[in-house]
Structure 1
Amino acid sequence: MSSPAPHIPGFSFVDLVGEGGFADVFRYVQELPTRQVAIKVLRSGTDLASLELFRAEANVMAQLSNHPSIVPIYQAGVSSDGRAFLVMEFCPPPHVAQRYRAQPLAVDEVLDIGVKIASAVETAHRAGILHRDIKPHNILTSTFGVPLLTDFGIASVVGESGAGGQALSIPWSPPEALSADSHDVRSDVYSLAATLYSLLIGHPPYERRDAPNDNATMITRIERGQLTPLRRPDVPASLVDILRRAMSVEIEKRPVSAMVLGRQLQDVQIELRQSPTRLEVMDASPSALVEEHPNDARTLVRPVSVIVPAAVNERPAPLRPAVDEQTRRPGAEPATGESARSQSAPRRAEGGPGPRARIAIGVVAAAFAAAVGYAVLAGGGDQADPDTGTLRGEDPADPVQPFDVPPAPVVTKSGKGTRWTFRWALEEPREGDEFKVELSGDGVTQAAPEYTTATSKTLTVAPADTVCVQVSVSRKGSPPSAASRQVCVVGQ
């Protein structure tokens, strides 16, 4: 049940917009400048330490909220009755949380949302903030239809009695967050992938139409990785593979950052012949102000200066696994033994688990006990494998097929004078392979690439003109190959 809207000087209450487990959202009209705003008000009972951390994180996020995929934050404070509040841009419904339940979203829209929200999540991580509650309900839509991520850090600092279980959004939570307070950026990567999977399937990723969906059963499915199969013929196998890997039970198997997940989603856009949505990241790390960031047509990294309050600096920093020079995969083999335990999910520094973890552990422990009992009653028995077994009545999870990225074609040339033929070949061609042929040089009049199943192209090249050819291959269910070596000829 929502609390009454507080009196906030300079704002006039309009109506209640939404209710959450730890906060209510009201619509107000700001007096100067005059505009509609949304004000999220935390429920009463938050302790002073949590309020201080709330203020600190609000200060950081307000500095980053001019990111194109983060809900703008205008103001933060504490009302006269002691409730913390955030003043944000008012985003009118419907939002994705209402839309995906009525009808799953189109693949191209989900990919666009995924890349944009990955940009926002990566930006927060580089500022030292984990989101911890990424889900469809926290992706709003601006007046112009732009997806915007909201509620950064709030769920991790509330800690009020009775709210922890609700603040932990079980259907989109990674396994490690169900029993500990994870500081690994890959926990947010998991939740983002689970959110995108929800938008494609029309319900949370572990929900079943013909089986119980209580928290205990959901937790069991999450811990076993028992995703509900996504049976949509229009969803590329490569996208299903990316999301399943990002939702791996083993944290080391997930993409090492939100940016890597975003790049993988861009690969699918290219596979579908869509213009990739640009990854736009604001980097607030100290090194960002002195290092040169390589940008390309798909990625833009802007170094920004952010004043980070002491309360945020004192928290354990988000764990960011090392990446190789292409930021595509982990830079080292997965850690094992004691090393893995120290890297995978560090707890809060001395003093025990934080407020959210203390509250959630009791709720989750009871839910887990119920889950074990349900699994036995459902017929798991002694023969069931606790890691891979299914509950009775559930289909096995979709098999995960590895990426099958075709190699770059090999291009050769032959001819003389003004008549030249370019040929390209693959080591292991497959039926249905389609080639993207790109021509460049002063002897080319048409710059647009050509898509063809042919393996050669003959051209007339005027004397002294240059024509260069590069070829890549598109294969159904796979990201496109790298482009071939550029091969050039000069007309004689």
Structure 2
Amino acid sequence: MQHPPQIPGFTFVDLVGEGGFADVFRYQQELPTRQVAIKVLRSSGDAASIELFRAEANVMAQLSNHPSIVPIYQAGVSSDGRAFLVMEYCPPPHVAQRYRTRPLAVAEVLDIGVKIASAVETAHRAGILHRDIKPHNILTSTFGVPLLTDFGIASVVGETGAGAQGLSIPWSPPEALSADSHDVRSDVYSLAATLYSLLIGHPPFERRDAPNDNASLMTRIERGQLTPLRRPDVPASLVDVLRRAMSVEVDRRPVSAMVLGRQLQDVQIELRQSPTRLEVMDASPSALVEEHPNDARTLVRPVSVIIPAAVHERPGPLQPGRDEDTRHPDHPGAPGSSGSTGASGHVGHSGPRYPSGRSATGGSAPRHPGPQRATQRRLGVPARIGIGVAGAVLAGAVGYALLAGSPDDARGDAGTLRGEDPPDPEALADAPPAPVVTASGKGARWTFAWAPADPQPNDEFKVLLSGNGVQPTPPEYTEATSKTVTVAPGATVCVRVAVSRKGGEPSALSEQTCVVGR
């Protein structure tokens, strides 16, 4: 731990948390009198990086009055050259402490998911990529409201002073394991992985029967070998939404945090819950002149944000391409609306593009990514603990995330948008065929064997046993392709099997295969 800095107007109380790049201290503010959390970077940066830190902190502070982002009160540089942020103090316990002890209830996870999706969408529309969404970065206010924090300040100062940026491997998308990602769908992946963790009680690729070192986790992430979620109270539609958002292929994920939030609302409606409202502050260039289709489920507030020149020159976030007609999900030409056109049900570009620095009338040309971060996301840096707070990394000038539209809409990957019935998990286009199950044996000893139509390495199978010859048991998840059972004379044992692979949708269950003991 580094020593707490002396900051005029604040009195040190105690240490809240520490990490590889920053420490968080609790201070007593003198005027107004209140307790605050102050996050202090471990390393001091040069003049240029400190200036950029200040500029980006100013931008995000303007958005930190979002109801699901930790408020920023002040930013500055201490007398010893360390940058710091003064934030609202959120007392524990937080979700990171709770989910490891007991997985969270489905209703709470859905509420958290929609609220944090609103915060992420707000950041994306201001040109900010979070890059480190995980349970540890969702705090809880005094009133129990989930708040997103830690937008990765270390990557700002770290480019020239603090060294390479860290990586939280358990919740990182595959593309971020080898290179720095500028795509908003990388944040979508990490948010889905975080929600999956809250439901399963551990990181999504962690297994109790296998090594969980960084190398093993990376292998599973790259192959999409998601640990099965074995909770009967979690609806299949929610599992489908999260698995789709965690697809290995970026183009199969929801195109924005807004779309993921709408899909989570659809699950709330399916469960007969009142949908949590999506509240987005839109700082995109066109926000002040275009109309936003607010409704009972979505509220979009245009806001004006001053973008300093130092921030404007940074690379902007990569977002899936779209035409003006696909900006809103309820537009006549938007995907899923009655007026959509084209073979895939949408109008838009087939590939990604970078948002321009200004509105269409501003005349600014699109910006392209620079190489300065290409080597930052490499192994050798331990999974980082909070190194920033709501909004310290602004990846570029103002941009806006999409409400809908994707080149993969024809496959159903974009999901429902306006409260339609959730898709049947057994009818999705990317689900493999059901395995074929056979039985062999005689007397009391029988062996069931199964194989998918196109076997792949590391296929995982869900095996259901039924009949009066076995005790009722939960499904078994295994990579084995056979199971031997002992069947009492005259008793019946039946088996049904499903297969899943690469984090995709599971297959339908196989036809039931039964044997009778003799």
Normalising by structure 1, what TM-score?
0.70
By how many angstroms is 1:134 displaced? 0.4
**1:77-476 matched pairs, under 5 angstroms:** 77-159=76-158, 164=164, 167-322=166-321, 324=326, 325-326=328-329, 331=346, 335=350, 349-350=369-370, 352-354=371-373, 357-361=374-378, 363=380, 389-390=457-458, 395=478, 398=500, 400-401=504-505
Contact 1:13 1:26 in 2 (8 A): yes
Partner SS, residue 189 of structure 1: helix
Aligned amino acid, residue 20 of structure 1? G
Whole-Å separation in 1 of the counterparts to 2:281 and 2:87: 20
The answer to which structure, 1 or 2, has the higher relative contact order (CA under 8 A, 6+ apart) is 2
Q: 1:66 matched to which residue of 2?
A: 65
Whole-Å separation in 1 of the counterparts to 2:15 and 2:288: 42
Whole-Å separation in 1 of the counterparts to 2:117 and 2:460: 36
Deviations 1:328-367 (A, max 9, x none): 68956895xxx67x88xx99744x332xx43433538xxx
Contact 1:181 1:353 in 2 (8 A): no
Partner SS, residue 287 of structure 1: coil
Q: 2:468 matched to which residue of 1?
A: none
Contact 1:180 1:347 in 2 (8 A): no
Q: 1:172 to 1:328 in 2, by over 3 A?
A: farther
Aligned amino acid, residue 360 of structure 1? R
Give the number of aligned pairs.
372
Partner SS, residue 101 of structure 1: coil
Higher helix share: 1
Aligned amino acid, residue 251 of structure 1? V
Q: 1:290 to 1:389 in 2, by over 3 A?
A: same
Contact 1:229 1:398 in 2 (8 A): no
RMSD: 2.9
Partner SS, residue 99 of structure 2: helix
Aligned amino acid, residue 300 of structure 2? V
Q: 1:170 to 1:348 in 2, by over 3 A?
A: farther
Partner SS, residue 286 of structure 1: coil
By how many angstroms is 1:390 displaced? 2.6
By how many angstroms is 1:279 displaced? 0.1
Partner SS, residue 358 of structure 1: coil
Aligned amino acid, residue 353 of structure 1? Q
Q: 1:287 to 1:164 in 2, by over 3 A?
A: same
Contact 2:21 2:43 in 1 (8 A): no
Aligned amino acid, residue 11 of structure 1? F
Q: 1:153 to 1:127 in 2, by over 3 A?
A: farther
Q: Percent identity?
A: 78
By how many angstroms is 1:46 displaced? 3.3
Contact 1:22 1:163 in 2 (8 A): no
Q: 1:16 matched to which residue of 2?
A: 15
Q: 2:362 matched to which residue of 1?
A: none
By how many angstroms is 1:55 displaced? 1.6
By how many angstroms is 1:121 displaced? 0.2
Contact 2:244 2:505 in 1 (8 A): no
By how many angstroms is 1:184 displaced? 0.8
Aligned amino acid, residue 207 of structure 1? E
Q: 1:221 to 1:169 in 2, by over 3 A?
A: same
By how many angstroms is 1:57 displaced? 1.7
Contact 1:142 1:148 in 2 (8 A): yes
Q: 1:49 to 1:207 in 2, by over 3 A?
A: farther
Partner SS, residue 12 of structure 2: strand
Contact 1:289 1:303 in 2 (8 A): yes
Larger CA deviation: 191-200 vs 151-160: 151-160
By how many angstroms is 1:308 displaced? 1.1
Aligned amino acid, residue 358 of structure 1? T
Contact 1:189 1:258 in 2 (8 A): yes
Contact 2:335 2:347 in 1 (8 A): no
Aligned amino acid, residue 315 of structure 1? R
By how many angstroms is 1:402 displaced? 8.5
Unaligned runs of 5+ in 1: 365-386, 405-492
Deviations 1:162-182 (A, max 9, x none): 8646x2101111111111111
Q: 1:216 to 1:48 in 2, by over 3 A?
A: farther
Partner SS, residue 297 of structure 1: coil
Unaligned runs of 5+ in 2: 337-343, 355-365, 382-454, 462-476, 480-498, 509-518
By how many angstroms is 1:391 displaced? 9.5
Whole-Å separation in 2 of the counterparts to 1:124 and 1:179: 24
